[in-house]
Amino acid sequence: MFWAERAVFDDRAHAGRRLAERVAELELADPVVVAIPRGGVAVGVEVAQKLGAPLGIAAVRKIPLPWNPEAGYGAVAVDGTFFADERVMRQLGISREETERLAQRVQAEVQRRAQRFGKLSREAVAERECVLVDDGLAAGYSMRAAILLVRKMNPRKLIVAVPVSPKHTAQEIAPMADEFICLHISEAMPFAVASFYREWHDMTDAEVLQLLDNVARA
């Protein structure tokens, strides 16, 4: 069965403002907002400005299937932490050794992003309420890697906040956070984050850097 759903958000900034209102209801004492680039930065800026919080970047990138670079089955964080979907590995016959090799290759691009956008420090997150933001979840691989990264930095509380997610991914991600906020949980099949935005494009490095100029940095 397939469900057709109309766009929910005008663009990422609109989604960020709506998400910020929900996060503000938590009345966090000492928050830091951490965004996943690139698209998550446009959402994260709005949340950070609403909370009066600094914004940090969780540099992560998907691990591609060996024969299809456009499709992923895991993600790598800037510190080398990575998540890979064991079910996909078993189904497709991808070994742990091959996954580790692919993760090492991806690490170069992750490091490039960290150098360009800023590397998140433990000091920026430790003992603070960390709001981890993206523009939406699909399979959720990047978010899982980001959660693993941030957890190592000992936040007082980890809040995952996203505008939209498929139901099955929301159910898997929510238990990994202390609090999970999602404005729109969808049962649409097939699912695409872009379909919930009236205006959508792949953000460039230049756009991300311009946005980062508008907020205090973590």
Annotated domain spans of the chain = 12-59+119-212
Lowest mean pLDDT among 82-86, 127-131, 172-176: 82-86
How far apart CA 58 and CA 89 sit, in angstroms, is 25
pLDDT at 76 over 50: yes
Q: Is the pLDDT of residue 56 over 60?
A: yes
201, burial (CB in 10 Å: exposed 0-12, middle 13-18, buried 19+): exposed
Confidence of residue 141 (pLDDT cuts 50, 70, 90): very high
For the segment 20-49, the average pLDDT, to the nearest whole number, is: 98
CATH class given for the domain over 12-59+119-212: alpha beta
Name residue 133's beta-bridge partners.
35, 161
Question: How far is 158 from 179, CA to CA, in rounded Å?
Answer: 7
**Predicted model pTM:** 0.93
- Can you tell me the distance from the alpha carbon of 22 to that of 16, in angstroms, rounded to the nearest whole number? 10
Task: Give bridge partners of residue 63 from the DSSP assignment.
Answer: 74
* 27-56 mean pLDDT: 97
Q: In what order do the strands lie in the sheet with 179-186?
A: 55-57, 31-35, 129-133, 157-166, 179-186
